[in-house]
C-alpha cells in the first residue's frame, strides 16, 4: 500500500473527483478526513470506505471560512495525531456557481475567488506547520484545463491562480520536506447530469470529442494520479501541474476535418491500418 497509515485531508471529498480520491487513498492504507459542507453526502462516502475495510471521518466544513478550516485541522489532529496529505479539491465551476444576471463584477469574482483560490491558500497555509512534522508530506491542488482556454472566464482565472500558488507553496514548503503539486483534469464524468451540462446536449453526446481518446475521464483516473503524487513514488516531483486530460489540450479540434486528407499523420498512414 502506497499510503499506509498516512492521514489525508480531502476537501470536497464527498462527490466526484474528491470522492474518487478519498476512496483510492483509503484503499492505499490512508486514514481519510472528508471536509465538506454536505454532511449527509460525506457520511455516505465514509460508510463506503469503511465497508471496504478503510477508516474515515467526515467534518462539516465551509472551506471559505478560516475559523472552520482551523477547527477542521484541529479536529484532525485530535483524532489521528498527525496530518500527512492535503488535497485541495473543493471548488465551484461555471455551471453551478450561483452567479445571478445582475450580480456586479466584484460579486462574480468573489464567488470564484473565495472557493477556488482563497480556500486553497488558507488550507495550505494553516496545514503547513502540521505537515512539516512528518517526513514525506504532500499537498495536492486540483486545477483545471480551463487554464489553457480564455472562454472559461473567471473560473479559468481562479484556476490559473491555483497553478501559481502551487509553485509558490512548493518553494516555501521545500525546506520542510513538503512537496506541493497540482492536477489539471480535462473532462471528467461524475454524473449523467454533469455530462449533459458539460456537453451542452441533453443526451450527453458531444459535438466534438471530449478528449483525444474519444471519451471523458473518470474520477478514478484522477485519483490514480493523486495517489502517485501523494506517495514516495513521486518523491522528486514538486511545483508541477500534471495535465490529465486524455490529450484534450494537444489537439486543434476544429481543424481535424480539414487535416484528414492532407497527410498529417507522419508516423503512419491510417489507410494502412484500416484493414487491421
Q: Is 83 helix (H, G, I), strand (E, B) or coil?
A: coil
Bridge partners (DSSP) of residue 217 are: 188
Residue in 15, 121, 155, 176 annotated catalytic: 155
In whole angstroms, give the CA distance from residue 174 to residue 28.
25
155 is catalytic: yes
Which stretches within 35-139 are classed as H helix? 39-51, 66-80, 105-112, 119-131
- Residue pair 49/26 in contact (Cβ under 8 Å)? The answer is yes
Residue spans of beta strands (DSSP E) within 97-169: 138-142
Cell of 35: 471536509
Query: DSSP per residue over 174-229, as a string?
Result: GGGT-EEEEEEE-SB---HHHHHHHHTSTT---SS-SSTTSS-B-HHHHHHHHHHH
Give the catalytic positions in this structure. 155
Amino acid at each position: 500500500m502506497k499510503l499506509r497509515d498516512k492521514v489525508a485531508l480531502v476537501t470536497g471529498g464527498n462527490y466526484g473527483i474528491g470522492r474518487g480520491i478519498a476512496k483510492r487513498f483509503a484503499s492505499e492504507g490512508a486514514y481519510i478526513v472528508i471536509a465538506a459542507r454536505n454532511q449527509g453526502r460525506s457520511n455516505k462516502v465514509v460508510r463506503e470506505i469503511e465497508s471496504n475495510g478503510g477508516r474515515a471521518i467526515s467534518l462539516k466544513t465551509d472551506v471559505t471560512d478560516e475559523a472552520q478550516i482551523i477547527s477542521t485541522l484541529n479536529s484532525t489532529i485530535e483524532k489521528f495525531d498527525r496530518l500527512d496529505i492535503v488535497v485541495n479539491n473543493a471548488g465551484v465551476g461555471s455551471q453551478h456557481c450561483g452567479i445571478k444576471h445582475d450580480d456586479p463584477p466584484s460579486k462574480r469574482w468573489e464567488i470564484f475567488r473565495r472557493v477556488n483560490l482563497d480556500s486553497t491558500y488558507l488550507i495550505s497555509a494553516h496545514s503547513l506547520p502540521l505537515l512539516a512534522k512528518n517526513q514525506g508530506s504532500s499537498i495536492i491542488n486540483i486545477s483545471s484545463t480551463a487554464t489553457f482556454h480564455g472562454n472559461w472566464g473567471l473560473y479559468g482565472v481562479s484556476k490559473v491562480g491555483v497553478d501559481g500558488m502551487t509553485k509558490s507553496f512548493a518553494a516555501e514548503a521545500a525546506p520542510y520536506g513538503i512537496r506541493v503539486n497540482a492536477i489539471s483534469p480535462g473532462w471528467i464524468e461524475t454524473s449523467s447530469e454533469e455530462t449533459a451540462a458539460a456537453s451542452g446536449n441533453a443526451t450527453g453526446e458531444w459535438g466534438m470529442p471530449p478528449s483525444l481518446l474519444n471519451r471523458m475521464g473518470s474520477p478514478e483516473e484522477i485519483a490514480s494520479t493523486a495517489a502517485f503524487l501523494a506517495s514516495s513514488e513521486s518523491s522528486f516531483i514538486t511545483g508541477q501541474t500534471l495535465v490529465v486530460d486524455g490529450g484534450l489540450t494537444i489537439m486543434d479540434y476544429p481543424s481535424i476535418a480539414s487535416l484528414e486528407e492532407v497527410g498529417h499523420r507522419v508516423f503512419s498512414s491510417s489507410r494502412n491500418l484500416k484493414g487491421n
